[in-house]
A and B are shown apart, each in its own frame.
Chain A
Amino acid sequence: MENRKERKITARNLDDREFFYGHKGCPGCGGSLAVRLALKVLGEKSFAVLPAGCMSAIGFVFPQMAFSCNAMISTFAGTASMLAGVAAGARALGLEGIHAVGFAGDGGTADIGLQALSGAIDRHDRIIYICYDNEAYMNTGVQKSSLTPTGARTTTSPVGNRLRGAVTPKKQMFEIVAAHGIDYAATASVGHPLDYLRKVEHASRVEGTSYIHVFAPCPVGWGHDSAETIEVAKAAVDCGLLYLAEYTGGGFILNHDPGEFSSIRDYLLGQGRFRHLGEEEIEAIVAQRDSRWQRIRREWRT
């Protein structure tokens, strides 16, 4: 067994090697950053599984392979079940120190892949499931998923006289997996890389199922400058639309309380997908945030 003691990951000791490199991702792609950083923590003994979605589309086009660890594409619905098979096969063959890690988009996780994910959590399979949340089906051209936030314009939740973008609220995936009694779950943002890396490192030591939900802006789908990805990912935390938290040992932990929130209005109107929103709609989003945070501050440990 390799050394399983938790390491504190810093910019200094982060692995110089690249395991996801030379891919066809767009400039400023948050998802590809999430994959790249996680693999630097998990290392060469990773078995990465990626369903249909942007990360597989940019990473595996024969003969140009962008992964230098073991990796394969799963069916769109099958990330967690294929990971379970990889983990079971590795266990049966006596392979030690490996990490079965999945990287699935929000659609691949919260919609079509939710059933398989639920099954894996139920079995406590020793897998690490990372959902890079770019809040829509990007690979097929920005369609609405159940993690698309209210009000966001996508190609299937257009903005016109009758519709004002997505009308449904974003599914609370973190709390959904926690409600399974999962061994470890966390939220993260590519705008807070050290926090994210720490969570990946923690997940790598969990004897059971880990789920990390990492917020990963997509300049193409969101309509912001490709140089602003990190700023947008930070702003989402600062304005309280995204919280950084963990679920472990049966309890929720809030990792970071911004105290005073920054402006939701600025966050939203900085992105093309929200630019149509009027004051009333923004107020409704603010109210939702406030009631969520009331509950979080009341119920979750810090």
Chain B
Amino acid sequence: MAGMNMFLSGNEAVAAAVRLARPQVIAAYPITPQTTVIERLAEMVEDGSLASEYLHVESEHSALSACIGASAVGARTFTASSSQGLLYMAECMHYASGGRFPIVMMNANRSVALPWNIYGDQRDSLSLLDSGWIQAYAEDAQEAFDMLIQAFAVAEHPLVLTPAMVNLDGFALTHTYELVNVPDPSDVDAFLPRFTTANRMDPEHPVSLGFTAGPQHNQAFKQLQHLAMLASGQVIREAEERFGQRFGRSYPGLVETYRCEDAERVIVTLGSVAGTVRPVVDRLRSTGERVGLLRIRYMRPFPDGELRAALAGATSVGVLEKDISFGYEGTVFTNVNSAFARSGASPRNLLNFIGGLGGKDITPTDIENLFARLAAPEGLETVTFI
């Protein structure tokens, strides 16, 4: 494997990936636990190792608004945020996706006030699932690094032209140090050529962008957006394939399955907690229990086909997520449930486990308990807090 192995935190891995992706404009605003990303980027711009325009904006709304402006003249752009900051961007998130501006953002998953809390859960990004952004969830720093570089390739693909958000669990991932392979710049340049787009304001061919479209035309634009998001699934798989060939690290598409082949009981989850589930699966497997893990890597586009295929043989599926749509169930669960409903063939038992809110620890013992509950689900509520 070419490149260099470096000991990096999740945030530093993101910054290292951004440096190699060479965005022409970066605009961001600090918020824990995202801050070290934008600090590293500022240092890179200062020391000349990253030739970007770095805008010190006065808010997240302006950060994304500036990225939209820069993208509208054809620049590659990057921003990063978290939690309150992400919500402050919400208006601009719909704006960016509707305008088909392929901005890439890193989000450090963090709880949302009130009560104030700086620790990790996924209520911030999942509450914006409908904003039209591709949403990827990394499990470790290397994957975050690789997803970030792929995110530019996918977002900017002419069939996609959709902004992409790469999510890292706050602290658990953003601040944990791991060995990360950082490829040679020339290899990344070859994988990710300079951004070109027809969707831009051009002095030679003036256009109006971001216009008004009334009842007669609006839906057609929204439908195109939907089709582009659907198309991004295949583009993600192709990007991973190309990435694997060039960098020797291959990825499994929108979901990763772990020992699911003959599993009766499967935990479906996303993000860094998968790292807690995997050894529990191994331990239970060693005692003959047929359990597995399915990790959702992309919430949008949603991997409904992959999910159904991987879980076709399971009798009990538990969706573990750090999110709750108050008064109903977790958003990930809603999506998984709908994937099954579409095919008319749901597993006999489908349960929703809500955990990790505001950074509450999810331990291996908790996971063992969940597998135990999946073995005897009779009489259990659909949604339980762990």
Residues of A within 8 A of B (CB): 44-45, 47, 49, 56-57, 59-63, 65, 67-75, 77-78, 80-93, 95, 98, 100, 115-116, 118-119, 122-123
Of A44, A74, A83, which contacts B203 at CB under 8 A? A44
On whether the beta carbons of A72 and B208 are closer than 8 Å, the reply is yes
On whether the beta carbons of A65 and B62 are closer than 8 Å, the reply is no
On whether the beta carbons of A82 and B203 are closer than 8 Å, the reply is no
- For residue B59, CB closer than 8 A to chain A, the reply is yes
> In the complex, A270 Cα to B359 Cα: how many Å?
63
Q: In the assembled complex, which residues on chain A have CB atoms less than 8 Å from the CB atom of B213?
A: 61-62
On whether the beta carbons of A89 and B69 are closer than 8 Å, the reply is yes
Q: Given known contacts A62-B217, A85-B65, A90-B73, is B25 in contact with A74 (CB within 8 Å)? A: no
Residue of A nearest to B51 (CB): A92
Of A57, A88, A123, which contacts B70 at CB under 8 A? A88
Closest Cβ of chain B to A170, distance in Å, is: 24
Q: In the assembled complex, which residues on chain A have CB atoms less than 8 Å from the CB atom of B62?
A: 78, 80-81, 84, 115-116, 119
> In the complex, A63 Cα to B221 Cα: how many Å?
12
On whether the beta carbons of B212 and A74 are closer than 8 Å, the reply is no
- For residue B164, CB closer than 8 A to chain A, the reply is no
Q: In the assembled complex, which residues on chain B have CB atoms less than 8 Å from the CB atom of A93?
A: 24, 73-75
> In the complex, A280 Cα to B92 Cα: how many Å?
47
> In the complex, A49 Cα to B68 Cα: how many Å?
11
On whether the beta carbons of A89 and B95 are closer than 8 Å, the reply is no
The count of A-to-B residue pairs whose CB atoms sit within 8 angstroms is 160
Mark interface residues in B56-67 (1 if CB within 8 Å of A CB, else 0): 111101110111
Q: In the assembled complex, which residues on chain A have CB atoms less than 8 Å from the CB atom of B95?
A: 75
- For residue B206, CB closer than 8 A to chain A, the reply is yes
> In the complex, A251 Cα to B61 Cα: how many Å?
32
> In the complex, A69 Cα to B202 Cα: how many Å?
9
On whether the beta carbons of A82 and B59 are closer than 8 Å, the reply is no
Residues of B within 8 A of A (CB): 24-25, 27, 52-53, 55-59, 61-63, 65-75, 77, 91-92, 95, 99, 201-203, 206-214, 217
Of A68, A92, A118, which contacts B25 at CB under 8 A? A92
Q: In the assembled complex, which residues on chain B have CB atoms less than 8 Å from the CB atom of A49?
A: 69
On whether the beta carbons of B212 and A86 are closer than 8 Å, the reply is no
Q: In the assembled complex, which residues on chain B have CB atoms less than 8 Å from the CB atom of A59?
A: 208
Q: In the assembled complex, which residues on chain A have CB atoms less than 8 Å from the CB atom of B208?
A: 59-60, 65, 67, 70-72
On whether the beta carbons of A89 and B55 are closer than 8 Å, the reply is no
Residue of A nearest to B217 (CB): A62
Q: Given known contacts A62-B211, A62-B212, A70-B207, is B25 in contact with A88 (CB within 8 Å)? A: yes
Question: What 3 A-B pairs come out closest when comparing CB atoms?
Answer: A85-B69, A89-B70, A119-B58
Q: In the assembled complex, which residues on chain B have CB atoms less than 8 Å from the CB atom of A122?
A: 58
Q: Given known contacts A73-B212, A82-B65, is B206 in contact with A44 (CB within 8 Å)? A: yes
> In the complex, A287 Cα to B260 Cα: how many Å?
81
On whether the beta carbons of B70 and A86 are closer than 8 Å, the reply is yes
Closest Cβ of chain B to A291, distance in Å, is: 33
> In the complex, A80 Cα to B55 Cα: how many Å?
12
> In the complex, A212 Cα to B71 Cα: how many Å?
26
Closest Cβ of chain B to A45, distance in Å, is: 5
> In the complex, A71 Cα to B202 Cα: how many Å?
10
On whether the beta carbons of A70 and B61 are closer than 8 Å, the reply is no
On whether the beta carbons of B217 and A92 are closer than 8 Å, the reply is no
> In the complex, A69 Cα to B77 Cα: how many Å?
23
> In the complex, A65 Cα to B210 Cα: how many Å?
11
Q: In the assembled complex, which residues on chain A have CB atoms less than 8 Å from the CB atom of B71?
A: 85, 89
Chosen A-B contacts, 29 in total, with CB atoms closer than 8 Å, are A44-B206, A67-B206, A67-B208, A73-B212, A75-B65, A75-B95, A77-B65, A81-B57, A81-B69, A84-B55, A84-B57, A84-B66, A84-B69, A85-B25, A85-B27, A85-B69, A85-B77, A86-B72, A87-B69, A88-B25, A90-B73, A91-B53, A92-B24, A92-B52, A95-B73, A95-B203, A115-B59, A115-B62, A119-B59
> In the complex, A186 Cα to B25 Cα: how many Å?
30
On whether the beta carbons of B91 and A75 are closer than 8 Å, the reply is yes
Q: In the assembled complex, which residues on chain B have CB atoms less than 8 Å from the CB atom of A56?
A: 212
Of B27, B68, B206, B214, which contacts A70 at CB under 8 A? B206
On whether the beta carbons of B92 and A78 are closer than 8 Å, the reply is yes
Of B56, B61, B73, B99, which contacts A47 at CB under 8 A? B73
Q: In the assembled complex, which residues on chain A have CB atoms less than 8 Å from the CB atom of B211?
A: 60-62, 65, 72-73
Of B61, B73, B212, which contacts A89 at CB under 8 A? B73
Q: In the assembled complex, which residues on chain A have CB atoms less than 8 Å from the CB atom of B61?
A: 75, 77-78, 81, 116
Q: In the assembled complex, which residues on chain A have CB atoms less than 8 Å from the CB atom of B52?
A: 92
On whether the beta carbons of B206 and A68 are closer than 8 Å, the reply is yes
Q: Given known contacts A57-B212, A72-B208, A73-B212, is B69 in contact with A82 (CB within 8 Å)? A: yes
Scoring A82, A88, A119, A123 by chain B CB atoms within 10 A of each residue's CB, the highest score goes to: A88
Residue of B nearest to A84 (CB): B66
A62-B214, A73-B211, A93-B75 known, 20 other contacts, Cβ within 8 Å: A59-B208, A62-B217, A70-B207, A70-B209, A72-B72, A72-B99, A75-B92, A75-B95, A77-B91, A81-B27, A81-B65, A84-B69, A85-B27, A85-B67, A86-B73, A115-B62, A116-B57, A116-B58, A116-B59, A123-B56
Closest Cβ of chain B to A59, distance in Å, is: 8
On whether the beta carbons of A85 and B55 are closer than 8 Å, the reply is yes
Q: In the assembled complex, which residues on chain B have CB atoms less than 8 Å from the CB atom of A87?
A: 69
Closest Cβ of chain A to B344, distance in Å, is: 40
> In the complex, A91 Cα to B70 Cα: how many Å?
10
Q: Given known contacts A89-B75, A93-B24, A93-B73, is B210 in contact with A73 (CB within 8 Å)? A: yes
> In the complex, A86 Cα to B65 Cα: how many Å?
10
> In the complex, A128 Cα to B57 Cα: how many Å?
17
Scoring B61, B71, B206 by chain A CB atoms within 10 A of each residue's CB, the highest score goes to: B206
